[in-house]
Amino acid sequence: MKAPLTRQSVEQHNTEEDLWVIVDHKVYDLSDFVDAHPGGEVVLRQVAGQDATQAFYNLHRHEVLQQYAKLCIGTLENEEPEVVDPQPGDLSKVPYGEPLWLRPQFHSPYFNDSHRRLQKAVRVFVDTYVKPEAEQKEKDGTFISQELIDRMAKEHLLAARLGPGKHLHGKKILGVLDGEEFDYFHDMIVCQEFVRPSQRGFQDGNMAGMMISLTALRQWANDDELKERISREVLSGQKKMSLAITEAFAGSDVAGIRTTAELSEDGQHYIINGTKKWITNGMFSDYFVVGCKTKKGFSVILVPRGEGVETKLIKTRYSTAAATTYIEFNDVEVPRNHLMGKEDQGFVVIMSNFNHERWMMAAAVTRTMRTVTEECLKWSHQRIVFGKPLVSQPVIRQQLARLISISEATQAWLESITHQMNHMTYQQQSQHLSGPIGLLKAFCTRSAHEVADLSTNIFGGRGLTQGGMGKVVEMFHRGYKYDAILGGTEEILMDLGVRQAMKFMPKAML
């Protein structure tokens, strides 16, 4: 029988070949690990045979211990580990680490049992399958695996990510929710859970292109057979799809695009010529929903990958896992039934998509700001500076207060708008919500600017380091501008919000 582990017995293991330490009442045999320790050998020798809990948490994320669990040789006799060891699906125990509706002490008028069931199931799925792949792909820059796509398709998560609608009918999402029940709060939950791994490039690489292009096709395709076939192929994960509107010549100014679609002489085909830039998922897409200039205006056409379509990877600030693409269309022939909506009236096709896309982006960045806030709370609680936890400095508490307030305020506004979406027809949403959603997204990303700034100051050098303690903060600082630019820039959206309000101003002078 092995002798029990005690603090006295651990003390003996402090020689060149034999090095044990205690972290959170558990004993780690680091004898063979010292040479491989990323922080070096010296620091470990300094704490050989001792309780290194405080030193460890001052420098490492808890997940390091999970990764190196095999170094643990047991728990000290008559002692219990105190540190929370999060498991897949767990809710955060950090105050403000979860939105209010998920905190056991609080109440919300918006969420019922079906929302809680789905949240739990999606979190287990994301923690188990999405997070490990997201971390790997963000680093190596390769694209999402077919294995993960197949898994999401099987659980109807690809379909769920388009939002509520007929495409979900008859499907049981993750085995816990009938597609008919799926509302915009379920939609918000899926969106917010999927961004929790905080890997911004992979987040977009994970089918963001499909989310904004298949919705448009489903609403505007003129040919039902085409619509159903492509929906089947994409939602089963066999084919991939993206939205191709922006060009080097035109970003927010959609009217400036130069890609042309001309009818062939026999009137049976469109011939497409031009380029597209910043197309998310373009590298691995089989279909592109393309904005083109036609005779008297702007039209939207579905273009399959084929002869004359060429894609090149663009390197941007985040990982190439997003598959951001430059596309060239060179005399690409597409059957006429691939036109979406009416010819020359493509603006309405593009605009109709924007509300949902912008609302999703607001939901995503709101959730990520909360994760950053949680990281700052954890760090300032465990980091010792000038002999005291960082949080004992009043200036840090001021910064934390600001971060918490932003997380709570943006989530509350998001939920209030989501409630409107659940109770408005599509027409009412277009009329009354495009302004508020534009303002919400712009407010979230302006707030993100502040969150990136404050959190980096709290983390210091670690907030500038990829990997290690500050990795979430560093990634957020690198990635938050994507939310500010994609789907409509802050300036355009704030302007839209005020212009829409002006439409409803009473005529009388006030």
Residues that bind ligand HEM (CB under 6 A): 21, 23, 28, 30, 37-39, 43-44, 47, 52, 55-56, 59-61, 64, 68, 71, 467-468
Distances (CA, A) of 84 to 5, 67, 378, 380: 22, 15, 12, 17
221: phi then psi, degrees, rounded to nearest 5: -60, 140
| Residue 11 C-alpha from the chain's centroid | 46
What is the distance between the alpha carbons of residues 109 and 379, in angstroms, rounded to a whole number? 33
In the complex, least distance from residue 140 CB atom to ligand HEM, rounded to whole angstroms: 17
CA angle 457, 382, 450 (to 5 degrees): 25
CA angle 46, 49, 51 (to 5 degrees): 85
Nearer to ligand HEM, 30 or 376 (CB): 30
Nearer to ligand HEM, 49 or 479 (CB): 49
Nearer to ligand HEM, 320 or 371 (CB): 371
Nearer to ligand HEM, 28 or 476 (CB): 28
Nearer to ligand HEM, 335 or 468 (CB): 468
In the complex, least distance from residue 203 CB atom to ligand HEM, rounded to whole angstroms: 22
Quick one: tokens of 420?
């409107």
In the complex, least distance from residue 457 CB atom to ligand HEM, rounded to whole angstroms: 17
In the complex, least distance from residue 9 CB atom to ligand HEM, rounded to whole angstroms: 18
Nearer to ligand HEM, 389 or 468 (CB): 468
In the complex, least distance from residue 69 CB atom to ligand HEM, rounded to whole angstroms: 9
In the complex, least distance from residue 389 CB atom to ligand HEM, rounded to whole angstroms: 17
Q: What is the 3-state secondary structure (H, E, C) of 411-445?
A: HHHHHHHHHHHHHCCHHHHHHHHHHHHHHHHHHHH
Residue with tokens 């907030």: 463
| Residue 192 C-alpha from the chain's centroid | 7
In the complex, least distance from residue 308 CB atom to ligand HEM, rounded to whole angstroms: 47
Residue with tokens 């298949």: 214
Are β-strands 325-335 and 339-340 bridged in parallel, bridged antiparallel, or unpaired?
A: unpaired
CB-CB contact of 72 with 83 (8 Å):
no
In the complex, least distance from residue 92 CB atom to ligand HEM, rounded to whole angstroms: 20
Extract long-range pairs of 215-219: CB within 8 Å, 24+ residues apart: 215/162, 215/163, 215/353, 215/356, 216/243, 216/289, 216/300, 216/340, 216/349, 216/350, 216/352, 216/353, 217/241, 217/289, 217/302, 217/340, 218/162, 218/165, 218/167, 219/349, 219/352, 219/353
Contacts of 170 (CB under 8 A, 6+ apart): 179
Nearer to ligand HEM, 198 or 311 (CB): 198
Nearer to ligand HEM, 37 or 258 (CB): 37
Nearest residue to ligand HEM on Cβ basis: 39
Nearer to ligand HEM, 28 or 278 (CB): 28
CB-CB contact of 337 with 222 (8 Å):
yes
In the complex, least distance from residue 25 CB atom to ligand HEM, rounded to whole angstroms: 13
In the complex, least distance from residue 386 CB atom to ligand HEM, rounded to whole angstroms: 18
Nearer to ligand HEM, 29 or 181 (CB): 29
What is the distance between the alpha carbons of residues 75 and 47, in angstroms, rounded to a whole number? 18
